[in-house]
Chain A
């Protein structure tokens, strides 16, 4: 399974807003394994340029926090699937996604006391 996943970032966390993320991580998956992780600054791009960049990078899926209807429709029209309302650490979210366990609305925070990743269905949401 080859694909490219984009995660709008806010530090190491998933950006709460798709349209205001200062950075985007693009994860390349080949034969079901992550082969590359690259971060791109996007603060200087306007919304349309951000959307265009995702399409020109060949992104298939976007894992993000909040996203408005306009962006959702635009990504849909470019054939990009969106898993929205995800909060927490980007690393945990991408791991859960690769295991096929990420669902819209998950909160991917680390439980420090127990030392392992945990999620809870926090914010609700839908897959588009």
Chain B
């Protein structure tokens, strides 16, 4: 009882944090138990880490789209930068830093920093553009990153790094040389350092970063810019600073997701499927369906929408079709004025109450 009292005294946002993290922890323990007794299929086990990095991506994009209110269609680009810079570092230091406990956190830091640099850069561009123009620039950015990585060759030998944008031969590596980034063939042999445990920890860390930010001075400034830019300026909010801050932070966390991704697979290549605009749009869909600005909702949407196609696997051919229809129907249900009015009159609580009344009358 005493504990409950303490819990109720916490302010609303802290309470929400405790609940969300508690639920994540419970799900984590449940999954581990299921794995231990062998009740979780290989397919599902393989999905655990992706669920975490998709959630991180959704949460981090929510910062730009939901909290800052700027539409970004290039989030996969930041993930791509994080994935490649992190994997590059791990491949490079695999033999010098043998302990994954040191190497992997460093890789994550590097992925986050590189992605953040590009996030800041896009943030500067963003200052001059609004709305749909911004959307198209971020989309273009994602495509540029993907294209450039596909023609980039980097190798190392005794004399240091070699770069090329033509092919691996023109790197001119010595015999003992090692091609780390091999153009469209990407990076192979990245150590598989990502585990479900680490991915869960980072999901919680990212979640805390965003929710704490939102409920702090800087987070309020970012939301003020979203709600009314002119009013925010009139009370002295530095628009430039906070827009760049939001973009940088959001990109850094997408970078973390990228590092988790690249250390969970054996061969890292940049294809339209994993880092193209389709991926960016997928993340945006998580954010919108989870509720703009609703961090917890982003995680729920990311998990459900990743599991949905898997559960529809028995109807293999139709699953993406159903996915598309679900998306359209949900958008119309959520946003159509007539549907909004209908929902107001037909809430679950309201329906239950009216049913109760009816029963009582009959009795």
Q: Determine if chain A interacts with chain B.
A: no
Measured CB to CB, the residues of B under 8 A from A are none
Q: Interface residues, chain A, CB within 8 Å of chain B? A: none
